[in-house]
Structure 1
Amino acid sequence: MKISLSMMTRVVLLALVVSVASVPRTIASGPKKGKWVKLFDGKTLTGWHNYLKQGQPVSDKWQVEDGAITLTGRGGGDLVTDKEYTNYELEIEWKISEKGNSGIIYRVHEDPKYRTTYATGPEMQVLDNERHPDAKAGKNGNRTSGSLYDMLPPSDFSAQKVAGEWNKVRLVVNNGKVEHYLNGKKVVEYTTSGPEWEKMVSESKFKGWEGFNKYDTGRIALQDHGDKVWYRNIRIREL
């Protein structure tokens, strides 16, 4: 029996289909990201407490104004999340007053032997770059907005909006690698261990600090630096 070319083609295609169907399917097994979770409901300070004062009322210097966590005056103390986190993406919007200073601090370990959040946690700086003296202190701008405070300056000083305007940041902490984003631009990237990290610490104000960056898991803090500051649209996704 003669086999036509078209019939032979069909046989070959059928064999290929059967062959592919018999290969077991595999699914990429990359790390799954968690769902976005709000850390601020826009109305209350539920989920937050003053550093070293869990279970106690939050200082009345911290208020919710127009859907934002607001430090209204000096003496509020740093706010920290009730929950601790290890690997995550954090998104938050902030607005600083004129001549104002604040910060977003992570890996904060809560222990009475550490009297401040920044004794253990690195800080993403929040600042009025135009008017606050810290912008000209430090080294090469490593105390300006978006910087890893006193250690690494932002790669783009134009990324920040001026005092009184909202800035959006994203902080990614994942297995020792950290990225700072300010208004959509990645401005800082670093790892929290190894020779480069140790060199940065040794050249900063944190040199010799016993607990600084010693805890992979910790709370997230909003700093009271005595100046009015606003935080809103705070959410987190664990990695």
Structure 2
Amino acid sequence: MKYLRLSAAGLLALALTVNVQADGLPKKGKWESLFDGKDLKGWHVYQKAGQPVTEKWTVDNSAIHLAQGGVGDLVTDKEYGDFELELEWKIAEGGNSGVIYHVHEDPKYKATYMTGPEMQVLDNERHPDAKKGRDGNRTAGSLYDIQKPVTPNAAKPAGEWNKARLVIHNGKVEHYLNGKKTAEYTASGPEWDKMVEESKFKGWEGFGKYSTGHIALQDHGDKVWYRNIKIREL
């Protein structure tokens, strides 16, 4: 029997030939910027599509900045299904926010988190949420209130920039924070249903039910910054 031997370069070339990347993800969409560092075009406040974004969500030194809470979550105009998202976030001392995905915008849902799972953004040292929940499942990078971090303590202190990555492909979801995997799960099926049933989202009609939706930056009332936001659809 003859064996085919391929170098690393050859394997990569073969992967590209079949439209698959070296990391196992399909090579589909190109990277697209969701924020140009100048204005909030392409975003709106949840349930307020077509209306001007108020001055509470603003642009500060090429970053989206929530200067004052109480206006509502900022969401993308466009909806996404499978995607890879990268961004950087910085939270104020004692602050709380989040990146929420597959948000379904419907008047019967009063908030983005009623439908979309959340990648937590938090000052772990000062915000009380870090010590609530179970085994750190409300700390930065975690799947909020549902799954404890795969890698704990991946976040940098308040006031420093953190690089986050969110990958959703064929129902599998991965969170990364500063290069470390912080969550890994399948967002449907019996295991998912069990995790939701054991969380604060038990019995919520629309939570985690949508495979496409808006991406939201949460207004939790605290100052937060987001920058270098880009996405590619998978």
Q: Same fold (TM over 0.5)?
A: yes
Report if aligned partners of 2:73, 2:112 keep a CA contact under 8 Å in 1. yes
1:103 equivalent to 2:103? Answer no
1:37 equivalent to 2:32? Answer yes
Select 2:183's aligned residue among 182, 185, 188: 188
Report if aligned partners of 1:90, 1:234 keep a CA contact under 8 Å in 2. yes
Mapped partners of 2:203, 2:220: distance in 1: 23
Report if aligned partners of 2:44, 2:75 keep a CA contact under 8 Å in 1. yes
Select 1:234's aligned residue among 224, 229, 234: 229
Partner of residue 208, structure 1? 203
Partner of residue 91, structure 1? 86
Q: If you compute each CA radius of gyration, which structure gives the higher value, 1 or 2?
A: 1
Mapped partners of 1:235, 1:229: distance in 2: 18
Quote the offset at 1:75 in angstroms.
1.2
Select 2:157's aligned residue among 154, 158, 162: 162
Partner of residue 18, structure 2? 28
3-state SS, counterpart of residue 107 of structure 1: strand
Please list every run of at least 4 consecutive aligned residues from structure 1 whose deviation after the TM superposition is greater than 4 angstroms: none
Mapped partners of 1:157, 1:75: distance in 2: 30
Offset from partner CA, 1:26-52 (integer Å, 9 cap, x none): x52543321100000001000000001
Mapped partners of 2:56, 2:19: distance in 1: 47
Mapped partners of 1:108, 1:67: distance in 2: 25
Partner of residue 79, structure 1? 74
Report if aligned partners of 1:140, 1:153 keep a CA contact under 8 Å in 2. yes
Q: Which consecutive residues of structure 2, in runs of 5 or more, have no partner in the other structure?
A: 1-16, 21-25
Report if aligned partners of 1:84, 1:217 keep a CA contact under 8 Å in 2. yes
Structure having the larger proportion of residues in helix: 1
Mapped partners of 2:18, 2:144: distance in 1: 38
1:128 equivalent to 2:123? Answer yes
- Per the alignment, do residues 158 and 54 of structure 1 end up closer, same or farther by CA in structure 2, a change over 3 Å counting? same
- For the aligned residues, what is the CA RMSD? 0.9
Q: TM-score, normalised by structure 2?
A: 0.89
Partner of residue 57, structure 2? 62
Partner of residue 171, structure 1? 166
3-state SS, counterpart of residue 191 of structure 2: helix
3-state SS, counterpart of residue 137 of structure 2: coil
Partner of residue 150, structure 1? 145
Select 1:50's aligned residue among 45, 62, 71: 45
Mapped partners of 1:116, 1:37: distance in 2: 26
Q: Which consecutive residues of structure 1, in runs of 5 or more, have no partner in the other structure?
A: 1-26
Report if aligned partners of 1:169, 1:182 keep a CA contact under 8 Å in 2. yes
Report if aligned partners of 1:117, 1:221 keep a CA contact under 8 Å in 2. yes
Alignment of 1:6-21 (within 5 A): none
Aligned residues: 213
